[in-house]
């Protein structure tokens, strides 16, 4: 009977079984040799003695073996309580060495306190790192969510369809594309898709009204911790539906995932915040609502103070905004002066000239130096009341002429403080952010650019503003936020050819350029395009947050490094093959 190592149980006691796996730990006790045999399910202790003892002594770490043996219960004094199969062992009757192994470059271990090798080394030998139980569990967890999502959408009447991987290079997200040269058509190129965006819109024009795909996407973006040049999204598009339908659908999916896979409840419907409300209250369009720390405008109160540093900013029509939070966040931990000095440096790095912090003791404001609190004596009670602060709380505030900069900087500080304190009201905070502006103004060129993508429909009542007040136009787009991270986004699409061309021209494309890049979409919209709406969840980021991990690389089989290198195969590499260079008319780059 073939059995997985992690499936040893009382029902198998007294039965002869076959196990296959890797020799993880080997312990030679003289008359007996013990091997912890590992596979995808767990570890089983195998005992070699008698005729097999000498052969078993040739085994090494990570040798691949097959054994036949008898399952028995361990003696009480030898039970391993930390191992799910620790009450049982297998007395080997037959041993086959399937393959030997070189000594691994790092120890494959799950033991607490054991040194974990550097990530770059583990990525180079990813196939070894993936043998660790933690990594196996990560991959299985991702698989469970993917399976459940597929079953969910099938049940809802969606077709799982595939969009092409070699596509026309078009402006979609603003990221750089990955380019693939054509051998047949010299001098011409394909692009790898940054998303299935345009093609799923064409699917709707075709009348296939419910589409989904576990889609691969490729973006040559600036390097960040939570980004990969290739990633996966759960992508969908539907016709003849509105925002409420998609949001309700995604909420049901989330509820099912959390309950079925994690035994966690989520309260529906999810909270919704308008974009400007999110910015003004939390300084971010993806606020983490596991904690409070709302940004409060204290401009009017501070005008009455004697704090000259701030008053000078107010005299130039600046604003003052503040946050209060508890200094105590654990039995033995407390926000320190050094931490607050670090927060001040973060404020400066985000464009503020400085940051003021105080604490409340016996109902009074205290500061370092004391002169700051003294300059606020006449507004002390009003300030504490406005911020709903209490004894033991810290108050931070900043002033600036640029309200947007002030909010963004305080939003980042709010997140730093929230992550530090970690006293969360709930484990998972899901949130919809809605009513985004259709356009943003580029900080350098001062030109309009789409806040999400150029295919998002404006609110019907805002179309009249396109000509003279485009910055006031709202887009019918919405983001799904989880614990302060955007994990998904959706929008109602433009289904009118003239409006689509107009939007492309408004973001700086000449008509000829727009038709060259998007003519195939614009033409399709002329042939009876339905109302359609789409959504995509970033699968890698979603599963990472649900498992409360830091890096999406832990949930991708063969990820790239932070610099987008692939340690396992050394890519990207130079092209050395002369036939390839000749076929593509490429020059060898030294």
DSSP code string of 443-494: TTT--EEESS-TTBPBPGGGGGGTTT-GGGPBBSEEEEEETTEEEEEEEEBP
pTM value?
Answer: 0.93
Q: What is the pLDDT of residues 46-84, one digit of tens each?
A: 999 999 999 999 999 999 999 999 999 999 999 999 999
Per-position DSSP letters for 329-394, written without gaps between them: -SSS-B--HHHHHHHHHHHHHTT-S--EEEEEETTEEE-SSHHHHHTTGGGHHHHHHHTT--TTEE
| Residue among 578, 522, 536 nearest 170 (CA) | 522
Q: What is the topology classification, in CATH, of domain 291-423?
A: Gyrase A; domain 2 (3.30.1360)
For residue 294, report the phi and psi dihedrals to the nearest 5 degrees.
Answer: -75, 145
pLDDT band with cut points at 50, 70 and 90 for residue 589:
low
Residue 113: predicted pLDDT: 57
Q: What is the topology classification, in CATH, of domain 117-240+530-590?
A: BirA Bifunctional Protein; domain 2 (3.30.930)
Structure token digits, residue 54: 């000498």
The sign of the torsion formed by the CA atoms of 298, 303, 308, 309 equals positive
Q: Quick check: bond before 572 cis, omega within 30?
A: yes
Q: What is the pLDDT of residues 264-286, one digit of tens each?
A: 999 999 999 999 999 999 999 99
Contact 226, 173 (CB under 8 A): no
What percentage of the chain's residues is helix, strand, coil (to nearest 5)?
Answer: 35, 25, 40
pLDDT band with cut points at 50, 70 and 90 for residue 588:
low
State which H helix or E strand residue 398 sits in.
Answer: strand 393-400
Q: Is 444 exposed, middle or buried (0-12, 13-18, 19+ CB in 10 A)?
A: exposed
Q: Is 433 exposed, middle or buried (0-12, 13-18, 19+ CB in 10 A)?
A: buried
Whether the domain at 5-99 and the domain at 117-240+530-590 fall into the same CATH topology:
no
| Cα separation, 7 vs 454, whole angstroms | 53
Correct CATH for 5-99 of 3.40.50.2000, 2.60.15.10, 3.40.50.20, 2.40.50.140: 2.40.50.140
Contact 109, 51 (CB under 8 A): no
Residue with the larger pLDDT of the pair 42 and 328: 42
CB atoms within 10 A of CB 506: 19
- pLDDT, averaged across the chain: 93
Q: What is the pLDDT of residues 377-396, one digit of tens each?
A: 999 999 999 999 999 899 99
Structure token digits, residue 254: 């989330």
Residue 421 has pLDDT above 90, yes or no: no
Q: What is the pLDDT of residues 500-543, one digit of tens each?
A: 999 999 999 999 999 999 999 999 999 999 999 999 999 999 99
Structure token digits, residue 458: 């404006």
Residue 530: predicted pLDDT: 98
Residue 336: predicted pLDDT: 85
Residue 332: predicted pLDDT: 53
Contact 486, 456 (CB under 8 A): no
Q: What is the mean pLDDT of residues 543-549?
A: 96
Among the residue ranges 98-102, 166-170, 485-489, the one predicted with the least confidence is 166-170
Q: What is the mean pLDDT of residues 237-254?
A: 98
Residue 416: predicted pLDDT: 93
Domain boundaries, the chain: 5-99, 117-240+530-590, 291-423
């Amino acid at each position: 009977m073939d059995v997985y190592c992690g499936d040893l149980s009382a029902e198998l006691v007294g039965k002869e079984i076959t196990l296959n796996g890797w020799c993880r730990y080997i312990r030679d006790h003289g008359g007996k040799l013990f091997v912890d045999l590992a596979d995808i399910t767990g570890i089983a202790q195998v005992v070699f003695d008698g005729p097999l003892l000498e052969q078993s002594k040739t085994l090494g770490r990570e040798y691949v073996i097959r054994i036949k043996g008898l399952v028995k219960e361990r003696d009480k004094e030898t039970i391993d309580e930390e191992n799910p199969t620790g009450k049982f062992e297998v007395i080997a009757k037959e041993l086959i060495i399937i393959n030997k192994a070189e000594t691994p470059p790092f120890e494959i271990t799950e033991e607490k306190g054991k040194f974990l090798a550097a990530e770059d080394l583990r990525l180079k030998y990813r196939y070894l790192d993936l043998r660790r139980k933690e990594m196996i569990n990560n991959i299985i967890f991702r698989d469970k969510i993917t399976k459940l999502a597929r079953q969910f959408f099938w049940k809802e009447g969606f077709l799982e369809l595939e969009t092409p991987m070699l596509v026309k290079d078009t402006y979609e997200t603003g990221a750089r594309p990955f380019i693939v040269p054509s051998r047949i058509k010299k001098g011409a190129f394909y692009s790898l898709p940054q998303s299935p965006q345009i093609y799923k819109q064409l699917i709707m024009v075709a009348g296939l009204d419910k589409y989904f795909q576990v889609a691969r996407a490729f973006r040559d973006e600036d390097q960040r911790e939570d980004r990969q040049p290739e990633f996966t999204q759960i992508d969908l598009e539907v016709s003849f539906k509105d925002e409420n339908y998609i949001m309700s659908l995604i909420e049901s999916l989330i509820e099912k995932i959390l309950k079925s896979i994690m035994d966690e409840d989520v309260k529906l419907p999810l909270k919704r915040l308008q974009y400007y409300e999110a910015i003004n209250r939390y300084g971010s369009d993806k606020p983490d609502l596991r904690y409070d720390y709302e940004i409060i405008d204290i401009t009017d109160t501070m005008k009455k103070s004697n704090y000259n540093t701030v008053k000078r900013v107010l005299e130039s029509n600046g604003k003052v905004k503040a946050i209060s939070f508890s200094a105590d966040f654990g039995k033995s931990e407390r926000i320190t002066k050094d931490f607050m000095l670090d927060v001040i440096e973060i404020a400066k790095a985000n464009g503020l000239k400085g940051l003021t912090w105080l604490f409340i003791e016996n109902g009074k404001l205290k500061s370092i130096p004391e002169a700051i609190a003294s300059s606020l004596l006449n507004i002390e009670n009003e300030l504490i009341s406005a911020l709903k602060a209490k004894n033991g709380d810290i108050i931070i505030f900043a002033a600036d002429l640029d309200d947007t900069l002030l909010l963004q900087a305080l939003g980042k500080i709010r997140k730093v403080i929230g992550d530090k304190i970690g006293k969360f009201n709930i484990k998972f905070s899901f949130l919809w952010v809605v009513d985004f502006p259709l356009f943003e103004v580029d900080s350098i060129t001062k030109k309009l650019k789409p806040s999400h993508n150029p295919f998002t429909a404006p609110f019907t009542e805002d179309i009249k503003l396109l000509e003279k007040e485009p910055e006031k136009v709202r887009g019918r787009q919405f983001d799904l936020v989880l614990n302060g991270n955007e994990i998904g986004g959706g929008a109602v699409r433009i289904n009118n050819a003239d409006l689509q061309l107009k939007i492309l021209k408004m973001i700086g494309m000449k008509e000829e350029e727009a038709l060259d890049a998007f003519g195939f979409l614009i033409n399709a919209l002329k042939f009876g395009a339905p109302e359609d709406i789409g959504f995509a969840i970033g699968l890698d980021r979603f599963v990472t947050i649900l498992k409360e991990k830091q890096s999406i690389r832990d949930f991708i089989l063969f990820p790239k490094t932070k610099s987008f290198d692939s340690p396992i195969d050394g890519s990207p590499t130079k092209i050395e093959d002369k036939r390839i260079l000749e076929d593509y008319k490429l020059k060898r780059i030294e």
